Amino acid sequence: MSQVLVASNRGPVSFSLSEDGGLVMRRGGGGLVSGLAGVVGAAPDPGPPRFPGPGRGDPGVLWVCASLGDADRAAARRAPEGRLDLDGHDIGGAAVRMLDVPADTFHRAYNGVANSTLWFVHHLLFDTPRVPHFDARARRDWQSYEAYNAAFADALARDAAPGAKVAIQDYHLSLAPRMLRDRRPDLRIVHFSHTPWAPPDYYRLLPDDIGAQVLHGVLGADHAGFLTGRWAAAFLDCCERFLPGARVDRAAGTVTRAGHATRVGVHGLGVDGDALRRRAAEQDVVERARALRDQVGDRQLIVRIDRTELSKNIVRGLAAYRELLVNHPEWHGRVVHLAFAYPSRYDLSEYREYTAAVQRTAKQITDEFGTPDWDPLVLQVNDDYPRSLAAYRVADVLLVNPIRDGMNLVAKEGPVLSERGCALVLSREAGAAAELSGDALMVNPFDVSQTAETLHRALLMPRERRAERCARLAAAATALPPRRWFAGQLAALD
């Protein structure tokens, strides 16, 4: 039985099958995992938080996650009672329980509901008349989403010690807090949203019953956490508009319904500067940074690093780079744009099509401007973490222009690792804007021309000014390290 439990769709590790049929373990990816993996481990830590029993051999923290594929399912079945002991791996002493959710249920819940529906609503990605489209198939997907959330609630209810704290993460698990409260009213539950929350006029695109169930589900928690005040306020607005009987007290930041109060709080997430710098000083990163410097020479380097994700707005970012080259031919031969667009959610046709659009746009730019001795744009689509860290080190300008983003840790990691003091061109729709807008160059992500001119300004900015701004950005980026963020969620339950 555990005193502290974490639940998320993607866990700290995942498995693949080697050629001889053995299981190969890899660290899980993504912002949520990066944020959490460092805090639930047993690594010695000078600062907060302190939660019960994270010592080696005493996995005080249990991380419950889904099996994402067949290899994960095989690992879950092989582990004693489904519990993987990962002591000694880089997530420290936490134990992991991988739920063996049937593949079809997982697919419908993850791809059908979480990523096609809830993700699209919260990121304002709907593109009528194609989506939204709530038909009989969507209803079946919704039932799978309920079953998937129930599987988490069952596992958490079984493994939680009396009065334990349970931190349920993200839009995949918006029903689980309520289901868990129904099973175990003694537990203290926090739900944390890593995405934005949709404003009411967008949220109402959801069928009424589904929209209400999601809100009702999250309100099963004692505390609902968000990355910025803007997303928290949107959640309160939706509760007020769509949940009959809910009493929203904005001054207190609470929603009360049927005698149960949920406190709504803002917990910004930054990066662990020391850990990041240590990783970026390792040999594989150093070698890649050297190779990048050789490739770019004395040209200026504009870097972007994203999953190939519709909300990241990569196509408009490339269009802005093209407009920069059209309007300012003085940069020809003097700048290179390095765009890392890593594969994501390839099961969804929208993502496959978006990936093709990114590649098409990149090729057009190369064909239009490239010369035998100048590659204006380098698009890399194979995921390589050390190469991303190397790009942060050598960037002159970092472009982060999402349509909408819960936080965006690229905007924070870049300034921390920058060697030359990079300029940050940042979308005003990223959660990170709340903390970084003073020193970033802000853009409206839909305004391609403005983004192009802002890239121009960033390239022209004197080195000392860039470096001063970058130092302040790095300080802001490390002010809320993951440990403090997670401690804040647990402390809110006391």
Give the residue with the Cβ less far from ligand F6P, 409 or 487: 409
- CB of residue 28 vs ligand F6P: minimum separation in angstroms? 8
Least distance (Å) from ligand F6P to the CB of residue 55? 27
Q: Which is nearer to ligand F6P, 30 or 207 (CB)?
A: 30
Q: Does 69 bind ligand F6P (CB under 6 A)?
A: no
Instruction: Determine the Cα angle at 473 with ends 38 and 422, to 5°.
Output: 105
Which range of residues in 30-38, 52-60, 282-290, 325-333 is near ligand F6P by CB under 6 A?
30-38
Q: Are 191 and 177 in contact (CB under 8 A)?
A: yes
Least CB distance from residue 107 to ligand F6P, whole Å? 13
Q: How far is the CB of 89 from ligand F6P (least distance, A)?
A: 19
- Residue in this structure with the two tokens 């930054």, named with its chain if needed: 270
- Could you tell me the smallest distance in angstroms from the CB atom of residue 255 to ligand F6P? 22
Site for ligand F6P in 405-424 (CB under 6 A): 406
Residues 443-472, mask of contacts with ligand F6P (x by CB under 6 A): ------------------------------
Binding mask 176-215 for ligand F6P (x = CB under 6 A): ------------------xx--------------------
Pull the structure tokens for residue 127. 């593109």
Q: Looking at 52-124, list the stretches that DSSP marks H as alpha helix, in order from N- to C-terminal side.
A: 70-78, 103-107, 119-122
Can residue 31 be called a binding residue for ligand F6P (CB under 6 A)? yes
Query: Which is nearest to 189 in space by CA: 153, 158, 234?
Result: 153
- Spatial separation of the C-alpha atoms in residues 484 and 225, rounded to whole Å: 13
Q: Residue 233's closest CA among 206, 266, 201?
A: 266
Question: Residue type for 140, please?
Answer: R
Say if residues 396 and 301 touch (Cβ distance below 8 Å): yes
Give the Cα separation of 35 and 31 in Å (integer): 6
Among 72, 141, 159, 170, binds ligand F6P (CB under 6 A): 170
Residue type, 147: A
Give the nearer residue to ligand F6P in terms of CB position, either 30 or 132: 30
User: Scanning residues 334 to 363, which ones bind ligand F6P (CB under 6 A)?
Assistant: 344-345
The Cα–Cα gap between 378 and 410 comes to 18
Which span sits near ligand F6P by CB under 6 A: 24-32, 70-78, 155-163, 224-232? Answer: 24-32
Q: Pull the structure tokens for residue 357.
A: 């659009």
Which range of residues in 28-36, 295-303, 422-430, 468-476 is near ligand F6P by CB under 6 A?
A: 28-36
Burial class (CB in 10 A: 0-12, 13-18, 19+), 392: buried
**Smallest distance, ligand F6P to C-beta of residue 345, A:** 5
Q: Among residues 197 and 331, whose Cβ is nearest to ligand F6P?
A: 197
Nearest residue to 215 (alpha-carbon basis) of 241, 195, 190:
241
User: CA separation (Å) from 151 to 102, 146, 169?
Assistant: 10, 9, 15
User: What is the Cα–Cα distance from 321 to 488, expressed in whole angstroms?
Assistant: 40
* CB closer to ligand F6P, 403 vs 441: 403
CB of 194 to ligand F6P, least distance (A): 3
Binding status of residue 7 toward ligand F6P by CB under 6 A:
no
Query: For the CA atoms of the chain, what is the radius of gyration?
Result: 23
Identity of the residue, 36 or 436, whose beta carbon is nearer to ligand F6P in the bound complex = 36
The enclosing H or E element of 417 equals helix 410-417
* Chain contacts with ligand F6P (rule: CB under 6 A): 10, 30-32, 115, 170, 194-195, 344-345, 406
